[in-house]
Amino acid sequence: MLENSIKKIIPMVQSFYKDDYERMKVYLTETAIFSSEVLADAFHTSFCIAYNKFEEKDIKKLERVEVNKLTPYKWTGWAPYPYFYPVVRNSNMSLDKKFKPVPLKLKINGKVKEIKKGFGIGAPFQITFILPKKVYKKFCCFIGLHSELGIGGEVIFKVKVDGKVVFNSGVIKDEEAKKIEVSIRNGEELSLITVPTKNSFGKFENQPVWAEPILKK
């Protein structure tokens, strides 16, 4: 609700100063409807839990959850060049030296693939999600440096569960992306971390990509 409301602030202010009150009402109405829907979903879910009543099709949807669609619990307050402001969710773009968005790309199975779902967040960076206890067993994704912007970079990818490192990639250079599958059983806090090497600290080419991140039951 907060994310959605914040997105509407600038267009609402622009409409106000253009004396376009009808357009401003549209933004206000859209925000109110969205907030009402979220609140209704929260009540509905609470009642479903209370009465242990769930539709099979709804349970099926939760077997695989796309992490890029989740709102983080917390994230690094700043980001390295050229990422002056970290993105909250589904940052499926990297920035070139002119701050122009470039679609995420990784070399997978010998071919460059454009990534629609994932994070391009620079290094060093950390993004953390809260998980339901004893629900998801595995975290899976592809990791690597952007196939165009990351040539010459050196980054280490880490996954933490409840503050403990459960995966360390070692040094990743501009090479074939790696598919990882990490056990997160019983974990309640998942952190995705990128760290530059001593030799690459501050380099623009440190352009890590977490591609198609998934939680599995």
Provide the residue ranges of all domains of the chain, joining segments of one domain with +. 2-53, 64-216
Round the average pLDDT of the chain to a whole number and report it.
91
Residue 87: predicted pLDDT? 67
Query: Where does the pLDDT of residue 89 fall: very low under 50, low under 70, confident under 90, or very high at 90 and above?
Result: confident
Count, residues in the chain:
217
Query: Where does the pLDDT of residue 7 fall: very low under 50, low under 70, confident under 90, or very high at 90 and above?
Result: confident
Asked if the model's pLDDT at residue 128 lies above 70, the reply is yes
Q: Which residues have CB under 8 Å from 173's CB, separation 6+?
A: 145, 153, 154
How are strands ordered across the β-sheet holding 155-161? 74-75, 125-130, 189-196, 155-161, 164-172
Q: Which residues have CB under 8 Å from 102's CB, separation 6+?
A: 93, 94, 95, 96, 146, 148, 149
According to DSSP, residue 72 is labeled P
pLDDT mean over 73-82: 79
Q: Which helix (H) or strand (E) holds 13?
A: helix 2-17
Q: Which CATH number fits domain 64-216: 2.60.120.1060, 3.30.479.10, 2.40.30.10, 3.30.70.1350?
A: 2.60.120.1060
Residue 85: predicted pLDDT? 66
Residue 86: predicted pLDDT? 65
pLDDT mean over 49-76: 89
pTM for the full model? 0.82
Query: Where does the pLDDT of residue 102 fall: very low under 50, low under 70, confident under 90, or very high at 90 and above?
Result: very high
Q: Which residue has the higher pLDDT, 204 or 83?
A: 204
Beta strands in 31-123 (DSSP E): 64-66, 74-75, 93-95, 101-108, 111-115, 118-120
Residue 215: predicted pLDDT? 96
Residue 5: predicted pLDDT? 87
Q: How far apart are CA 137 and CA 78, in angstroms?
A: 30
Query: Where does the pLDDT of residue 58 fall: very low under 50, low under 70, confident under 90, or very high at 90 and above?
Result: confident
Q: How far apart are CA 172 and CA 197, in angstroms?
A: 9
